[in-house]
Chain A
Amino acid sequence: MVRNARLEKRGAAYILVIIILAIVGALGTAIFSVSMMNYRMKQIELYSKTAFYLAEAGLEEAYGLIAKEIDHAAAFGQLEREKEGGGHHQFKTSYTTYLNEKLVSSLSSYSCTILDPTLSNERPSLKVLEVEPFVNGNDKFSITIQSVYKYRNVSHMPKAIFEISVPNASLYPLEPTDIEDILHMRYLSE
């Protein structure tokens, strides 16, 4: 009887050690996995911000490209106006025709700059989502563009709507401040 009690006690010590270790181990694993998750979240947040600014850079470049095309269109309009000897109406017709024909194709074929090769060799890709060209009676060209950027498996795809109006023929040659009046960019929700 005495021996049995001793045996039971010895067994209890083992079991206690095992149970304590199991509890501590399980707790440790749980805390470890939570902190691992937390670390990944912070990492993804950093990647996501990086991707966000790179994707936005794509839209800024699109703005630059559209500004350039507006400049070309105005130059074309001016040229036609002088050739035909017409007034503002002639300028407007040539300007709108030029943008209606060229803008979408030049945006689709544009490849953005790699801003920092040490960060990533990927370029933001521009997608034209919606186009409302100049039509008779409508003096606004509006185009919605989405820029997609993927950085380390985290992607961002901001959208923006660009609204282009027709400048007065007398404004030519266009100054950068004129472009800001002609071209408006608004960010849309992703």
Chain B
Amino acid sequence: MEKKMDQEKGMTLIEVIIALCIMGILFVPISSMFLSTVKLLQEAKQLMIYSHLSQQYMERSKYDLYVGTGLHIYDIEALQLRVEVSIEPLERANNDARLEKIQLIVKDIDDTHELSRMVGLRRRN
């Protein structure tokens, strides 16, 4: 009877190890899934910020009469982002419509790399 008890205890230990193994094996993909979810949400937030910023500055460049030609740099300290808007006349031989090309680039504030870009046209007023 005592021998049997000992055997059963041993079985439980092995079982615990197996259970831990199973948990470990299954835990890795599950936790990595949670981690990538967090990463994905952060990236989505960044994308949202880029698209809202781009729209805001594009509309301003298109319709604000006081935004002239040339390069305009807007630093947004709170987001650590920089918006570069360059406005130049559209060079096209058969078009005398006084059109100007607006190129908008969202960058890191330290100017390292481009995060998103948009282009548009406006009529000079």
- Is A68 in contact with B26, judged by CB distance below 8 angstroms? no
A57 to B104, CA, bound (A): 14
Query: A135 on the interface (CB 8 Å rule)?
Result: no
Question: CA–CA, A29 to B29, complex, Å?
Answer: 11
Question: Which residues of chain A have C-beta atoms less than 8 A from B33's C-beta?
Answer: 28-29, 32
Chain B 88-106, CB-CB to A under 8 Å as 1, else 0, gives 0010101111110101000
B47-A49 in contact (CB<8A) = no
Q: Complex Cα distance A25/B23, Å? A: 12
* B66 lies within 8 A of chain A by Cβ: no
How many positions in chain A have a CB within 8 Å of any CB in the partner chain? 43
Q: Taking A21-B23, A35-B44 as contacts, is the C-beta distance between A63 and B97 under 8 angstroms?
A: yes
Tell me the chain A residues, 20-41 only, with Cβ under 8 Å from chain B. 21, 24-25, 28-29, 31-32, 35-36, 38-39, 41
A14 vs B23: C-alpha distance when bound (angstroms): 10
Once the chains bind, are A24 and B30 in contact (CB under 8 Å)? yes
Residues of B at under 8 Å CB distance from A? 8, 11-12, 15, 19, 22-23, 26-27, 30, 33-34, 36-37, 40-41, 43-45, 47-48, 50-51, 54-55, 58, 90, 92, 94-99, 101, 103, 116-123
15 other A-B residue contacts (CB within 8 Å) besides A21-B23, A25-B26, A46-B47: A6-B8, A17-B22, A28-B33, A29-B33, A31-B37, A35-B37, A39-B41, A41-B44, A45-B47, A49-B58, A57-B119, A60-B121, A64-B95, A113-B90, A176-B98
The 10 closest A-B pairs by CB, nearest first: A64-B97, A53-B120, A57-B121, A42-B47, A46-B51, A60-B121, A39-B44, A115-B119, A116-B119, A42-B44
A-B contact pairs, 5 of them (CB 8 A): A14-B15, A42-B45, A43-B47, A46-B47, A54-B120
